[in-house]
Structure 1
């Protein structure tokens, strides 16, 4: 039986094929650039590899026999009423679906340290690393899907290719469907492609979010130096963390903090701490002090995330603005920890934090307001 064709963005496999055929991997950048610049997003059956100029003749037959320009297709896109968020529903070769979200920002809005912010418009892409997720976080719609499969490195990169048809992507966050560090090898290979030609994204503008996979964090800095690390902490003590994140049983808070201390020592970078605000669960003043004490020896930015409703899952409620503000004041005032509140984007298209779950597009409309802050800006300042 013939082997299923692979994505041309499957970097490890295509490099191996080229080397085994005596071809230089140097030609891969030219191939990728041609595919990106000659879009035919939902019908590559008519794509002719021979159209790519100046390749060695054996390369054309190898490409025709073993690879596709893209193995995924853009099933649909949905624009939020906030006018800055677009959710992409992407169909994989095996028939499964994943979601990616484009978030557009203008850094000239607002001020930093009382001064106008430099820059201008740019876009961040939130990427999925798995179909579903095995972490089972009780506040997350993706967790309700269970784990289906890992994405290949090519399928991860193809999300960037699809998104590039809509907007020039400057930043990438691995905060979509799945636990990125549970698909470690594909993640690392995909990021290497994204930071090389022809994409040339800066590693400093790529953020990987994890619930705290300790053994993978220990490898991350050596494999991807300069990468931004975000940790979904969500509670300052182990019992509450396990209550809302069952997988946290495998990653005790104490051991996780030791791991992050070593990571920060080696990387010399700030760590981004994600903390979802759940009414009556993890949002009281005592818990703010516990969190402050836990993090006071680190260089971190804490991002407080208002809980997003996820359909029929009504176990949790969103913390009040007063509760969130009080929590923030304790972290800032008592512990001098930089603390931000995430402005929600794309709630009406289920594209906000914790809402990614494969559904056919719907047309719920909820207006979102407020200045938007990009994650990489927060970490670097």
Structure 2
């Protein structure tokens, strides 16, 4: 039987329960693995004898390996190529920010240096968005909760990760159980990330959105809307046929209503990729404004990055993006930012992350997320919560 990742929480807890071992030892094991890469189980001190035997027979400290790490010239972005135990590859991206460089309402932002990890939840993707190369490769497999967490483990050995965004390869809500389990581990010892610093991005899997606020309170939700009307959404996002815009907006309204019961009242982030002549005209801005004017949202406009021969779209020019932003802000009073891309020199910007293996050429592409540019100079999704 193949050994599982020790970060597959449900498997570890189940085996401990069967063996009659106190599950309180599990975070101790995780902490040791974090601090001691490639450790041997016998090196972990002060565990019951039965734990060592169980770990040796059932689990590995890591089932994936860090194949390579590529830094951008400005050192703000590191792209990780991670090989899974089945031989497939996924990518994760570390993005470094200094919020002191930006301002909000004319005042310096709080905080300082921090790192955000863009993480993958699947190999490939079923959604088929035709502005993203990942969609063209189809769906290969779901990641286990351990494989999701191992991306954080690999990244933690390179940078101190404060925020996690599920904006890498795959649709997180199509791998709901593993993603939720991974997040529950991320928010517990030894990782101890705040749910408010974790963001799930989805194209709009309606039934799963309805469960999120119950399963993981205070989590950030980002919706890849990308168009203000159903016809355009279906044109650029074939999966939108299964998630009609009216039903999606009703689900978001219910989601936000549940959030408003608690004092945090978090906004929903709306991601909107700007495609020249497709969804970037003034009429589209007004349609989007009317669609969202009753919601508490932040709209993040994302300049499109061409993806080689797969590109059927062009990037909206800066003037169009600026006018779009002005309409949303000025006419509809919707907070709107424009994302600045990070890591373009290492194919690490949105829609450009490409796994290239020596002698094999293009293997996969996934949409990395960067910071944002605007009059607000928003630099990280954490800042959008202010």
Give the corresponding residue for 2:107: 115
Q: Which of 304, 307, 319 lines up with 1:307 in the alignment?
A: 304
- The alignment status of 1:73 with 2:73, answered yes or no, reads no
Matched, 1:90 2:88: no
3-state DSSP of counterpart to 1:261: helix
- Whether the 8 Å CA contact 1:142–1:355 is kept in 2: the answer is no
TM-score of the aligned structures, taking structure 1 as reference length: 0.94
Within the candidate set 42, 60, 68, 1:50 is matched to 42
How many residues end up aligned between the 2 structures? 367
Equivalent of residue 226 in structure 1, options 201, 215, 218 = 218
Which residue of the other structure, out of 113, 125, 128, is the alignment partner of 1:136? 128
Matched, 1:294 2:291: yes
After TM superposition, which residue ranges in structure 1, 4 or more long, deviate above 6 angstroms?
none
Distance in 1 (CA, whole Å) between partners of 2:269 and 2:186 is 21
Match in the other structure for 2:192: 200
Question: 2:337·2:378 contact (CA, 8 Å) conserved in 1?
Answer: no
**RMSD in angstroms over aligned alpha carbons?**
1.4
Structure 1 stretches lacking a partner, 5+ long: 41-46, 363-367
Per-residue deviation, residues 197-244 of structure 1 (Å, max 9, x unmatched): 000000000000000000000100000000000000000000000000
Contact 1:74 1:91 in 2 (8 A): yes
> 1:145: how far off?
1.4
Structure 1 position 348, deviation (Å): 1.9
Alignment of 1:297-376 (within 5 A): 297-360=294-357, 373-376=379-382
SS in structure 2 at match of 1:229: strand
Residue 354 (structure 1) shift? 1.9
1:65 is displaced (CA, Å) by 0.1
| 1:108 partner SS | helix
Assess, with a 3 A threshold, how the Cα gap between structure 1 residues 85 and 375 changes in structure 2: closer, same or farther: same
- Work out whether residues 225 and 271 of structure 2, in 8 Å CA contact, stay in contact via their aligned partners in 1: yes
Q: Secondary structure at the match of 1:334?
A: helix
* TM-score (norm: length of structure 2): 0.93
* Residue 116 of structure 1: how far off its partner (Å): 1.1
State whether residues 329 and 336 of structure 2, in contact with CA within 8 Å, keep that contact through their aligned partners in structure 1: yes
Please tell me whether the aligned partners of residues 339 and 372 of structure 2 are also in contact (alpha carbons under 8 angstroms): no
Query: Which residue is 2:5 aligned to?
Result: 7
Provide Cα deviations, 1:350-378, integer angstroms capped at 9, x if missing partner. 2112223432389xxxxx99666111210
